[in-house]
């Protein structure tokens, strides 16, 4: 599929390139990203190169696009978001954001842009976009709840991160679900204090 740039005038999402390797490497030094995202640790420059060559490039060719999050067109990378194809009509969303950009609503905007593209007939024409995050990642849950995802439960030891199995939460948004905050999440998510802003999946 062709690269697609997504923007709402506040953030820009574009495919990461080799010019972004150093910025990606710097962002991924954050301990919170290592805690919640399935990235290599330690994360070195070759890790970012491998991510581009083995995930980004083939992903765009196989309906699994990854976008770099930028505060303006051509600006350095401040985060990453992507859709991993599950089948022709379903994908899983994953994302992370650099520490200095958190708590500004940028990731919610990015998720909304990606979902709009994913569901649109001129995008991926998906019926379902799912989300999962390791238990404890309340900030990631807050992002997708604000973007209209509905809570679906917890999978015990359902994910693996660097050789260790971990429980994860599940949620999803269907094409027919209304946009905007979902009100059917358990009370613990609504009242929980923000702890991080990443969910598993990218890079």
Give pLDDT tens digits for 193-203.
444 334 444 33
Instruction: Calculate mean pLDDT across residues 165-186.
Output: 93
Percent share of the chain, pLDDT over 70: 94
Which tokens belong to 193? Answer: 């204090």
Examine the pLDDT at 172 and tell me if it is beyond 80.
yes
Closest residue by Cα to residue 127 from 71, 186, 172: 172
Specify the pLDDT at position 196: 38
**CA dist., res. 106 & res. 104, Å (int):** 6
* pTM, full prediction: 0.90
CA dist 127 and 181 (Å) reads 19
55/32 Cα distance (integer angstroms): 22
In the three-class reduction of DSSP (H, G, I as helix; E, B as strand; rest coil), residue 46 is classed as: helix
Interval 67-96 mean pLDDT: 95
- Are 90 and 127 in contact by the 8 Å Cβ rule? The answer is yes
């Amino acid at each position: 599929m062709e690269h697609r740039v997504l923007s709402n005038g506040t953030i820009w999402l574009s495919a990461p390139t080799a010019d972004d390797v150093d910025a990606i490497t710097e962002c991924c030094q954050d301990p919170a990203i290592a805690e919640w995202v399935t990235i290599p640790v330690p994360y070195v420059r070759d890790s970012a190169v491998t991510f581009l060559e083995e995930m980004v490039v083939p992903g765009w060719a196989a309906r699994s696009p990854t976008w770099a999050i930028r505060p303006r067109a051509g600006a350095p990378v401040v985060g990453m978001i992507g859709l991993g194809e599950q089948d022709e009509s379903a994908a899983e969303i994953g994302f992370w954001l650099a520490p200095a950009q958190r708590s500004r609503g940028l990731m919610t905007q990015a998720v909304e842009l990606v979902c709009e593209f994913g569901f649109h007939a001129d995008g991926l024409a998906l019926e379902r976009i799912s989300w999962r995050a390791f238990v404890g990642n309340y900030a990631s849950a807050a992002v997708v709840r604000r973007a209209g995802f509905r809570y679906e439960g917890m999978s015990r030891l359902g994910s693996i991160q660097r050789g260790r199995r971990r429980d994860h939460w599940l949620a999803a948004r269907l094409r027919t679900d209304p946009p905007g905050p979902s009100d059917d999440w358990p009370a613990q998510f609504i009242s929980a204090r923000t702890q991080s802003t990443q969910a598993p999946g990218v890079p």
